[in-house]
């Protein structure tokens, strides 16, 4: 049977617009409702240490009032981990974070911080939270992820999204090797970063995908056609997915 490829909509940039003027609009919960009405499977938000877009109150409110599962992206930082343990979102995706970056620029170095990651993953898992980690499509990081005991990895598609010319098929092959490797290790494969209406057809060539987390392109498209329609268009594109079988 053809699998349903899930769509998590990252609504950080709805909050970015709000924070730009310090207003109480646009309303994040209303945005989440539009995503739900358009067939999204989950809402993704990134609680950054500098709180540049999503605020603590947003996390609590969405957790309480949004019917879709919340996937909280966050750094492995003590205060943020404590917050996640109190809020208990359905999922946490551990991501690297640097203050100066525009967005999450690389994958997690699981090998470089294995013990601290192991402690955090265990605490989150014991609280009943499904944990994933955001990593580059790299065999060594995938093997470390499996040793960490996370059930899910999110492959960083940023290098693919930025690739042009001959680099593009190369990055797509790299993602496919990583997806095959993750699948062989028994890991659920999610992917995200820089996925757009322009490159989604290429992304759909990848086998073993469970969920795509997409934000920037959907919120940008929403400026012209509204959020519900922007999400619906992406949802429609995802229907072409054929899964693992070829």
**Which residue of the set 33, 36, 73, 97 is catalytic?**
73
> Measured between alpha carbons, how far is 239 from 57 in angstroms, rounded to an integer?
34
Question: Could you say whether residue 154 binds ligand PXP (CB under 6 A)?
Answer: yes
In a 3-state reduction of DSSP, which class is residue 20?
helix
Annotation marks residue 156 as catalytic: no
Burial bucket for residue 85 (CB in 10 Å: 0-12, 13-18, 19+): middle
Burial 215-240 (b: 16+ CB within 10 A, else e): bbbbbebbeeeebbebbbbbbebbee
What is the residue-wise DSSP string for 203-226? HTT-SSEEEEEE-HHHHHHHHHH-
Question: Could you say whether residue 104 binds ligand PXP (CB under 6 A)?
Answer: yes
Contact with ligand PXP (CB under 6 A): which of 28, 195, 222, 227?
Answer: 195
Residue 162 DSSP one-character state: H
> x/- site string to ligand PXP, residues 106 to 135, per CB under 6 A?
----------------------------x-
Site for ligand PXP in 79-98 (CB under 6 A): 93, 95
Question: Could you say whether residue 6 binds ligand PXP (CB under 6 A)?
Answer: no
**Which residue of the set 13, 33, 36, 46 is catalytic?**
46
CB-wise, 89 or 215, nearer to ligand PXP? 215
Question: Could you say whether residue 216 binds ligand PXP (CB under 6 A)?
Answer: yes
> Measured between alpha carbons, how far is 93 from 153 in angstroms, rounded to an integer?
8
> Measured between alpha carbons, how far is 178 from 140 in angstroms, rounded to an integer?
10
CB-wise, 76 or 104, nearer to ligand PXP? 104
Among the listed residues 62, 69, 57, the one whose alpha carbon sits nearest the alpha carbon of residue 30: 62
Annotation marks residue 46 as catalytic: yes
Question: Could you say whether residue 10 binds ligand PXP (CB under 6 A)?
Answer: yes
Contact with ligand PXP (CB under 6 A): which of 174, 193, 221, 232?
Answer: 193
In a 3-state reduction of DSSP, which class is residue 244?
coil
Per CB under 6 A, which region of 35-43, 172-180, 187-195, 224-232 contacts ligand PXP? 187-195
Residue 178 DSSP one-character state: H
Question: Could you say whether residue 73 binds ligand PXP (CB under 6 A)?
Answer: yes
Question: Could you say whether residue 48 binds ligand PXP (CB under 6 A)?
Answer: no
Question: Could you say whether residue 23 binds ligand PXP (CB under 6 A)?
Answer: no
Active site residues: 46, 73, 193
Residues forming contacts to ligand PXP in the complex (CB under 6 A) are 10, 12, 46, 73, 93, 95, 103-104, 134, 154, 192-195, 213-217
């Amino acid at each position: 049977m053809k699998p349903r490829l899930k769509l998590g909509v990252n609504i950080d940039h709805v909050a970015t617009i709000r924070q730009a003027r310090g207003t109480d609009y646009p309303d994040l919960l209303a945005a989440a409702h539009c995503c739900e009405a358009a067939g999204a499977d989950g809402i993704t938000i990134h609680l950054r240490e500098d709180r540049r877009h999503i605020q603590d109150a947003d996390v609590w409110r969405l957790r309480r009032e949004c019917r879709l599962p919340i996937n909280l992206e966050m750094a492995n930082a003590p205060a943020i981990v404590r917050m996640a343990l109190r809020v208990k979102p359905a999922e946490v995706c551990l991501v690297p974070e640097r203050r100066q970056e525009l967005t999450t620029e690389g994958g997690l170095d699981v090998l470089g911080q294995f013990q601290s990651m192991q402690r955090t993953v265990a605490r989150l898992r014991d609280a009943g939270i499904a944990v994933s980690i955001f990593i580059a499509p790299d065999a060594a990081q995938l093997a470390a992820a499996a040793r960490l005991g996370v059930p899910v990895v999110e492959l960083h598609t940023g290098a693919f999204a930025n690739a042009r010319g001959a680099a593009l098929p190369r990055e797509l092959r790299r993602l496919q090797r990583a997806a095959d490797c993750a699948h062989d290790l028994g890991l659920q494969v999610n992917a995200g970063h820089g996925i757009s209406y322009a490159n989604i057809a290429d992304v759909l060539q990848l086998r073993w995908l469970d969920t795509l987390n997409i934000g920037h392109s959907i919120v940008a498209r929403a400026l012209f056609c509204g959020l519900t329609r922007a999400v619906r268009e992406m949802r429609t594109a995802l229907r072409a997915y054929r899964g693992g079988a070829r």
